[in-house]
Amino acid sequence: MVGGLTHALLSALDFKVLAVQRTPAGRWWNFRHVISPFSRLWLILAGRAVVRHHGREFVLKPGQMHLVPPFTEHDCRCPRGFDHYHLHFVARQQTGVDLLSMLDFEFQLPAPADTLRLLERLEALCPDRKLPCFDPSRDEYRRQPIVAEQADREMNAADWFEARGLLIVLLTPHLRTARLHPGVHARVSQQFLAVQEFLQANLHKPLRLADLARAANLHPTYFSDRFRELVGIRPLEYLTQRRLERAQYLLVTSAASVKEIAAQVGFPDAAYFTRTFTRGCGRSPSEYRAAHAA
């Protein structure tokens, strides 16, 4: 166990490579307020760029790799030009929570000597996981994660297994520095894992406080008070957060309509879903889908 990371948290993770490719970038690599429901790993090969998140500014230099966890708002810019590999991926637990959304770790590290070789091999295994363009407003860009999800399901077993292993090896330097942070997902995982598992299986259903309390085998009033004491928010607030995070992921990895996604995450009223999503995420579902990534 390292930094609070247990075998229970690390086993049975669902890894998916959404995009992997080498890209020379110029001054066009200039995006603000980027926030996506997947992680980004960059290997810098030449030149320089800058990324800002978590209140810090990082200079991306050759020989370094930089990891941006999911649901992290960040700004990025390139004063002149730089050459880099970029990898978009998810690492979800069986509870549906992305592992990297629960961790604090060093975002930028010296790249191990074989990092470039590993990324080249991963790209060879996943030749169809490339961004068709770099304009997030274009339809083919927005559909790329959908294509990647389908390609993942169609990989032969040996290639899928190797790709998963390569992704794990690429993440290992960052995981060596990782600690569970005091965020709500980590606190729920530690105190109410059965509730997280229940939500993952039933997020599409109308759920009440009593349903969550039953999953925890506690009286609703006691459960609600105890949940708030240990997690910091009420159980139904956490339920809404999980619904919105799942909706964010579906908006960028499926072609489903906003109404269909609302139903899939437990909002039978699409208008109410749109209001709740806009209030929680700062933009409407359609706006989020149109500008989700850089």
Q: Which CATH number covers residue 240?
A: 1.10.10.60
Does the pLDDT at position 137 exceed 60?
Answer: no
Tell me what pLDDT residue 294 has: 43
Does the pLDDT at position 58 exceed 70?
Answer: yes
Tell me what pLDDT residue 111 has: 98
Name the phi and psi angles at 64, rounded to 5: -115, 155
Same domain for 261 and 169: no
Same domain for 198 and 111: no
Same domain for 155 and 24: yes
Tell me what pLDDT residue 7 has: 62
The one-character DSSP state at 5 is B
Asked, for residue 216, whether it belongs to a domain, the answer is: yes
Same domain for 199 and 138: no
Same domain for 228 and 171: no
Q: Using 50, 70 and 90 to split pLDDT, how confident is the model at 271? A: very high
Average pLDDT, the chain: 86
CA distance 255 to 274: 17
Which range marks the domain in which residue 82 is found? 7-180
- Tens of pLDDT along 163-199? 999 999 999 999 999 887 766 777 777 778 888 889 9
Q: Which two tokens stand for residue 222?
A: 């006691």
Average pLDDT over residues 148-163: 83
Q: Using 50, 70 and 90 to split pLDDT, how confident is the model at 293? A: very low
Same domain for 33 and 113: yes
Tell me what pLDDT residue 45 has: 98
Question: Which residue's entry shows tokens 């607030």?
Answer: 237
Highest mean pLDDT among 146-155, 205-214, 224-233: 205-214
- Tens of pLDDT along 218-236? 999 999 999 898 888 899 9
Asked, for residue 1, whether it belongs to a domain, the answer is: no
Does the pLDDT at position 259 exceed 90?
Answer: yes
Are 184 and 230 spatial neighbours (Cβ–Cβ below 8 Å)? no
Highest mean pLDDT among 4-8, 88-92, 180-184: 88-92
Tell me what pLDDT residue 93 has: 81
Tell me what pLDDT residue 291 has: 67
Q: What is the CATH number of the domain that holds 107?
A: 2.60.120.10
Our count of domains for the chain comes to: 2
Same domain for 172 and 81: yes
Tell me what pLDDT residue 192 has: 80
Angle at 262 between CA 257 and CA 267, to 5 degrees: 160
The one-character DSSP state at 104 is E
Of residues 125 and 151, which shows the higher confidence score? Answer: 125
Domain boundary pick from 141, 165, 180? 180
Of residues 17 and 136, which shows the higher confidence score? Answer: 17
Q: Using 50, 70 and 90 to split pLDDT, how confident is the model at 247? A: very high
Work out the burial of residue 31: count CB atoms within 10 Å of its CB; fewer than 13 is exposed, 13-18 middle, 19 or more buried. Answer: middle
Asked, for residue 25, whether it belongs to a domain, the answer is: yes
Same domain for 103 and 166: yes
pLDDT-wise least confident of 106-110, 145-149, 183-187: 145-149
Same domain for 122 and 242: no
Amino acid at 66: H
Same domain for 150 and 31: yes
Average pLDDT over residues 90-102: 83
